[in-house]
Structure 1
Amino acid sequence: MADIDPDSIPFVPPVEVALTKTDSGRPTTAFHDWLMGLWSWMKNNVVALDHKLTTVESETNGNTAAITTEIEARTDADNALAAQITTVSTTVGENTADISELFTSVNGLGVQWAIQAYVGGSYGGVVFTGLKRADGTGADFLLEIQSNVVINGNLLVTGSVLNVGLNNNAATQIATASGDSSASLAINYRGTGKISIIAYYAGTPAIDRGGVPNLAVSMDSGQIDAVGNNYYAYVPSSGPVAIRLLQTTLLTEITPSPGNHTFTVTNGVGGGVRIWVFEGSK
């Protein structure tokens, strides 16, 4: 058997496997076609020295359930390959659902684990690949997911998070600050989208005020926007009518020049204020 060229092994799926979608938004068959292509490559390029195929199947009135496991192991003077694929499937009438799991290891240079699921005419799956670097400095690992992802917990990212595919105005950074009568924060605006600002005043409905101050937002000491605090007139049992301040929210949006900027919210009197600053992705 000739040496296997590692560059010829279809370990990493092409871009369209992860990104191509049908008009309905569901994954196409690209993932399935690529996975079957990888399996075909192994069979065409490696003559199995040890091959085992087991199938457990049940059928009643045309309804079927099956579990199939195929194992291959191959070594010679120059190469080594180990692979296993297990498929669990059921069919009832015109409905078929199956899920396959694939493990491969080739020449001590690369490994791969893949899961492919087929339900209702659509495919989805996960591929994890590890490949030794050509310069011998280590290995590169890649996880491809063709499915929606739900995380019930914290997500910790120590590297970069790219905003490719984020919805318009998705936040790339968020900052917040709070105080009694004023609060300030600073961000390094990258210039990728607009700055959206939410300013909030908690209000002091149990305290008499002499007037209605503004809830104001400024950037770098220059006022951006302002609104009069919500209030109501309080008529005591004796004495003049008094003003009492209520909760107030101010929403505003700007597109400043890129760089460091300081944003401040003030309400003229105490009672608690908070400011949120969002930088959009687009």
Structure 2
Amino acid sequence: MDKLVPDVNDAVADITDGASLAVGGFGLCGIPSALIQAVLDNGARDLRVASNNCGVDDFGLGILLGAHRISRMTSSYVGDNKEFERQFLSGELEVELTPQGTLAERLRAGGVGLAAFFTPTGVGTQVSDGGLPWRYAPDGSVAVASPPKEVREFNGRQYVLEEAITADFALVRASRADRLGNCVFDLTTQNFNPLCAMAGRTTIVEAEEIVEVGAIPPAQIHLAGIFVQRVVALTPEQIALKRLERRMVRPRPAVDVGAVPTSAAGADGTTE
């Protein structure tokens, strides 16, 4: 089945108000930025999104947040997004904070058909005991708090029950894909992309390169096409639009302007 669609706007045309989305990426690495922009242009509101984070104020999921299109986030990291913080603390946004490994496993569980699983992560904290603020009231009080979860003992250790995540739509970005939806994610862009793709009932892939069926060796496929319903080829401009969330570099060492660089000095210490 050829799953290639003409462009990103056609790919997201049936995402309507109230839809749930699983969105790949980590920070700004490997995010489906073109599909996110198309969802913004499409006008869908009251979206419930599961993603590791919510982008930054002016890029990634941050553009949907800034337009007040997102009503609920399930995330493990909120980063440096000031608008996210403002909406959460003012009661405009509901947020379910989830340990990162737990979030990954909840998405994977949803993709393979498991209803829930037990994990030791979070036992003895508000993750298991309940009481984490999900939504604040305008006066700063907690309007909605997380409920307590089932805890069981296995082999002398406590485990908390976490429910799987599935979504109406999954938005992911692949480095390469074929027309059947088989995908490859380069390096760290693998992050949450395959997991979100598995959790979506309708999975939409934006790909930097479309290759012929059979061009990707089976052992090199990171996401099987069985999980994908639509593939869209990115334009060169969309491929080039990539951002760094935070640039971290080492400070340059101080340079003595009177010193002679070793590489420029002769055997007798003279320079040319």
- TM, length-normalised to structure 1: 0.21
Larger radius of gyration between Structure 1 and Structure 2: 1
Where relative contact order (Cα < 8 A, 6+ residues apart) is larger, the structure is 2
The structure in which a higher percent of residues are helix is 2
Is the strand fraction higher in 1 or 2?
1
TM-score by structure 2 length? 0.21
